[in-house]
Structure formats: C-alpha cells, structure tokens
C-alpha cells in the first residue's frame, strides 16, 4: 500500500479535533494510523490491519500536535507540497518538517 500524506494530514487533524470515527475506519486508514503510532505521533492505541485496541486515552503526542498544527492550514500544506515538488524532494514527514519553517516564513512576510 502506498503512503498517502494527504490522508495522514486529514487523520492528524481529525484526531486533534476529536472528530475521528474510530468505529468506521477502513484498512487504508488503519494502515496510516499504524504509521502514526510508529512515528510516535499517536498514543493510547495499538493499530492492526483489521482492528485497533485502545490502551488508554487516544491522543496525539506533543510532536504529533506540532506536526498537525504545521500542516493544518490548507494554504501552508499546499505551499509545502509545491515547494518540495519544485525542489525534486519526496513528500515525507521529515522533509515536511524541514521545509515548513521556510514556507511559513515566506507566508508571514
């Protein structure tokens, strides 16, 4: 399965806003949630291909909140994706985190 950073963005925002319907997740969403757990952006849950198990309150970690807030604004998200594409750089969590400060600085000016 291919990683979908737009889906990751939406999941992060939905979790942050407490709007994720955990009981109606499809396998693709479960796969991406599992990656968020692996990246330590999500805590309180174990995610498996067909189901999840709550371990406590499901919430974003501090780094998860930081990442979610960086990519939350649609304009910022689109600019980050465009910037990385123009530079010929893949869209990964690490490249997004590294590109975000310069993209945000340009938006603020």
Residues 6 or more apart whose Cβ sits within 8 Å of residue 65: 16
Q: Is the pLDDT of residue 61 over 90?
A: yes
Give the integer Cα–Cα distance in Å for 96 and 28: 21
Residue 45 CB coordination number (10 Å) = 19
Q: Please indicate whether residue 51 or residue 63 has the higher confidence score (pLDDT).
A: 63
Per-residue b or e along 62-83, where b marks 16 or more CB atoms closer than 10 Å to that residue's CB: eebeebbebbeeeebbebbbeb
Q: Give the mean pLDDT of 8-30.
A: 94
Q: Is the pLDDT of residue 1 over 90?
A: no
**Stretch (H or E) spanning 54:** strand 52-60
Q: What is the pLDDT of residue 66?
A: 95
Residue 53 CB coordination number (10 Å) = 8
pLDDT band, very low/low/confident/very high, at 83 (cuts 50, 70, 90): very high
Q: Is the pLDDT of residue 106 over 90?
A: no
Q: What is the pLDDT of residue 108?
A: 86
Determine what percent of the chain is predicted with pLDDT higher than 70.
Answer: 100
């Amino acid at each position: 399965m291919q990683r979908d950073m737009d889906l990751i963005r939406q999941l992060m925002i939905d979790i942050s806003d407490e709007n994720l319907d955990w009981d109606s997740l499809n396998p693709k969403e479960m796969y991406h949630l599992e990656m968020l757990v692996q990246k330590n952006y999500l805590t309180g849950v174990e995610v498996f291909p067909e189901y999840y198990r709550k371990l406590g309150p499901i919430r974003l970690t501090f780094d998860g909140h930081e990442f979610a807030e960086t990519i939350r604004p649609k304009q910022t998200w689109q600019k980050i994706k465009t910037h990385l594409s123009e530079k010929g750089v893949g869209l990964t969590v690490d490249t997004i985190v590294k590109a975000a400060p310069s993209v945000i600085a340009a938006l603020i000016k």
